[in-house]
Amino acid sequence: MGHELIDNLLGVSLAAGAAVAAFLLASRRAGPGDPQAAKRWPWVAGALIAGYGAVFTVLPLCSYAAYNMGMVDLGHMDQAIRGVLDGRPLEFTFYETGQRVSRLGIHFEPVYFLIAPLYRIWDDARMLLVLQTAVIASGGIPLYLMARRRLGSGGAGIALLCAYLLHPALQFANLFEFHGDTLAAGFLLWALLFLERRRWWLFAVFLLLALACKEYVSLAAAGLGLAMVLTGQRKQGVAVLIAGILWFAAAQFWIIPHFRMRDGLYLEYAGLIYGDVPAMIARVLSVKNLGTLALLLLPMGLLPVLSGWLVLPLIPILGGLMTGQGTFDLHNHHNAVLVPFLAYAAIAGWERLSVFLGRRTALSPARVRRGMSAGVLAASVSCTFFWGGSPLALRFWKTRDWYYHGQLHQYRVTRHDAITDSMIARIPSSVPVSASAEICPHLTHRRDCHMFPSPWITFVGPDAGRFDPAASARVDVVCVDLLERFPLPNFSRLREREALFRLLAEASWSIRDLRDGVLLLDKAPQGLAGDVREHKLKRGGPPTVRPGNGPELVQYALRQGQGTLAVTAEWAVHDTVPDLIVIDELYYGTRCIKAVHWPSYLLRRTAGWKRGLGYTETYQIRNVEAPDSIVMVTSTIPEAPIVTERAEIMPWSDQRILARQKVWPRGGAAR
């Protein structure tokens, strides 16, 4: 199936129509008179849950392997949870301050203490991704059981199960790295099942697990308790209501402030720090927020709005997200807490609507169920086709969007990723590091793993934005991906480049390797020294190499000294030059020993070179111990990353040779 068919919007009609037709055919054959009906639908439900689990296990693992997960979420969680086993409970390196802090100072997520022992089975950050999918997928079991019992049809249970598994908000929450509140989705559905069956101890266990996932889940629990009171379960409802309120109050006013790394309560989700009441009301009623609300309800066929008191658990979370600034979005992981309550409310809404249609029409209950099941199935398939994050979604196969979870390009492992693997494999397991956001989750099994440019540049406090050279004492290795593929709104690329510029100017830091845009720095006794001089262009013969419309490499020479190589490169500038990277790789035979040259970055960055002038740069490669064989220096320019008008990022991997020159050991002879 080519992209032409996938891009055709009529595909949604074909997909939804095929799903509805298959469902109606199966439902008709599995009618009340079919003795095999009760046995057939559970197998279908199991296949759907297993299929979801397989797809959403493979996708996050591929995204991790392709370096498309970051430090702020997966990296922080892995470091914090893994630290429990090492006697550092929920401690992680916070990028805002560059300090070690407790996760409890940001969110109250005690469920992480229960997850930590799983690292004894698989000591890897990917364990969290697999666990998250398993918990979410398991939520489909209680949902199917509740829907089948209350609606009297396995087919109706399948329809609501599809609405849950295909819900775009749940899919994006699953793909959005790892979060405690995403786990709550599965735990809440199990709690609701045992609420239905009056198994109060099991209900309490799973409700406590859900509460332990994040502090604001307690607001939804309080709403559930109030709904229980209003629907006749007063004793248990009052207990749940009080427990939810006390849990939230304890977390917000005692636990989080106690561990907080700076002043102020963490009440963003309640929207209380975002301005005055009129502004919050305006945000609630904005077109974006109302559209997102509609997208949350549509996959359930709008049935939750008919559920009565069961909408109460949704109100506190919806209110906090809709009044906040930028917190209410279909791709946000916070919506995972809403999906189980939407599904549970959809069951009640289904019951009410089916009774209404049975009274007002001459249709039999079986036909009403089949029609409503087909409608919910069509709605869920259509929504996941247009807005979902799985391979069933239209945008999964389309041209990439900037930072859009759930597109094919995010799961492709490239040659660049393999090179990055080889680079980080050289970093010792215990040394403190600072790395790019997308590299950090592969290095967080250590006490100090900073997200570059932390700890040199912090983002809060009186010294925010300033470079602190003393921070070099806290880091031994730096690994930075110059491709800048992973966008982070909290970070400025200018700050990253400035920090890198300052580090390379320090004698204590050396370039250990630079391949395909991945830069590895350490504190080995190497270093660069040199000079750049500006002069008028000389008229003469053709250039040695012209790598683009801007610079020309006019001359390239090396001179060997005692333990050093002196390098001279003369450039002619005919146009504006961006930040240019030339890689000089010092070879012993064919094995790369050092990557040492970043043209003028230590002295005068190429972005500051002026049109119509020439630049002669000299620098030294120190501590060279050349063997008896020939030493060759090869200069290359990686293709710069291209960002198109549609914000596409083209790969940066191809290299072009600028110049070659053979250098013989001191006292040796040319061959």
DSSP class of residue 71 equals I
Mean pLDDT throughout 309-314? Answer: 91
Condensed to tens digits (0 to 9), the pLDDT of residues 479-521 reads 988 665 554 434 455 677 678 777 876 767 877 776 666 788 8
Residues 373 and 433 in one domain: no
- Which whole-number Å values give the CA distances from 89 to 84, 101, 553, 562, 568, in the listed order? 4, 10, 55, 52, 53
The two three-digit tokens of residue 246, written as one number:
């006390």
Residue 41 confidence (pLDDT) above 50: yes
Q: What are the pLDDT digits (tens) for 534-568?
A: 888 765 555 444 544 566 777 777 776 666 667 78
Kindly report the backbone phi and psi dihedral angles of residue 568, in degrees, each rounded to the nearest multiple of 5, phi listed first: -125, 130
Q: Which among 522, 557, 575 is the end of a domain?
A: 522
373, 445: one domain: no
pLDDT of 598: 53
Whether the CB-CB separation of 172 and 406 falls below 8 Å is answered with: yes
How confident is the model over 155-183, as pLDDT tens digits? 899 999 999 999 999 999 999 999 999 99
Write down the pLDDT at residue 183: 96
Q: Contact at 8 Å (CB) between 465 and 508?
A: no
φ/ψ (deg, to 5) at 246: -65, -40
The answer to whether residues 499 and 574 belong to one domain is no
pLDDT digits (tens, 9 = 90+) for 609-654: 888 888 888 776 654 554 443 444 444 444 443 333 333 333 333 3
Prior bond of 638 cis (ω within 30°): no
Q: Is 94 a member of any domain?
A: no
233 and 351 together in one domain: yes
Greater confidence (321 vs 238) lies with 238
- Within-domain flag for 510: yes
Determine the pLDDT at residue 655.
41
Cβ(237)–Cβ(228) below 8 Å:
yes
pLDDT surpassing 70 at residue 425: yes
Between residues 262 and 98, which one has the greater pLDDT? 98
pLDDT per residue over 261-303, tens digit each? 544 344 444 444 445 677 777 878 888 889 899 999 999 999 9
| pLDDT of res. 341 | 96
Q: Are residues 314 and 271 in the same domain?
A: yes
Q: Is the pLDDT of residue 385 over 80?
A: yes
Same domain, yes or no: 511 and 536: no
CA–CA distance from 504 to each of 457, 470, 520, 563, 617 (Å)?
15, 14, 11, 21, 16
State the residue range of the domain holding 31: 3-65+107-387
User: Does residue 508 lie within any of the structural domains?
Assistant: yes
Q: Please check the confidence at residue 339 and state whether its pLDDT lies above 90.
A: yes
Contact of 460 with 262, CB cutoff 8 Å = yes
Q: Which long-range contacts (CB under 8 A, 24 or more apart) does 52-59 make?
A: 52/136, 52/137, 52/140, 52/165, 53/133, 53/134, 53/137, 55/390, 55/391, 56/133, 56/136, 56/137, 56/171, 56/174, 56/175, 56/390, 57/129, 57/130, 57/133, 57/134, 59/175, 59/390, 59/406, 59/411
Confirm if 131 and 209 have CB atoms less than 8 A apart.
no
Domain at 562, CATH number: 2.70.50
Q: Looking at 174-183, 224-233, 264-273, 417-426, which range is the least confident one?
A: 264-273
Percent of the chain's residues with pLDDT above 90:
36
The CA angle 114-116-122, to the nearest 5 degrees, is 125
Looking at 483, 499, 522, the residue that finishes a domain is 522
Residues in the chain, total: 671
Q: What is the number of structural domains in the chain? A: 3
383 and 415 within one domain: no
**Same-domain check for residues 26 and 136:** yes
Average pLDDT score over residue span 46-71:
91
Alpha-carbon gap, residue 518 to 419, rounded angstroms: 8
Whether residue 613 lies inside any domain: the answer is yes
**For residue 418, is it within any domain?**
yes
Q: How confident is the model at residue 358 (pLDDT cuts 50, 70, 90)?
A: confident
DSSP 649: B
| 539, 469: one domain | no
φ, ψ for residue 558 (rounded to 5)? -130, 145
398 within some domain: no
Which residue, of 522, 540, 559, is where some domain finishes? Answer: 522
Task: Report yes or no: 564 and 492 within 8 Å, Cβ to Cβ.
Answer: no
Give the H/E segment covering residue 211: helix 200-211
Mean of per-residue pLDDT scores for the chain:
77
Q: Are residues 539 and 492 in the same domain?
A: no
Bigger pLDDT: 547 or 106? 106
207 band by pLDDT with thresholds 50, 70 and 90: very high
Q: Which residues, in sequence order, are CB contacts of 315 under 8 Å at separation 6+?
A: 223
**At residue 39, does pLDDT exceed 80?**
no
In terms of domains, do 289 and 239 share one?
yes
Structural domain includes residue 78: no
Average pLDDT over residues 42-51: 90
* Chain segment 120-145, per-residue pLDDT in tens: 999 999 999 999 999 999 999 999 99
Residue 114 falls within a domain, yes or no? yes
Same domain, 489 and 540: no
- Kindly indicate the confidence band of residue 25, based on its pLDDT and cuts at 50, 70 and 90: low
At 285 the pLDDT is: 83
| Mean pLDDT on 387-414 | 77
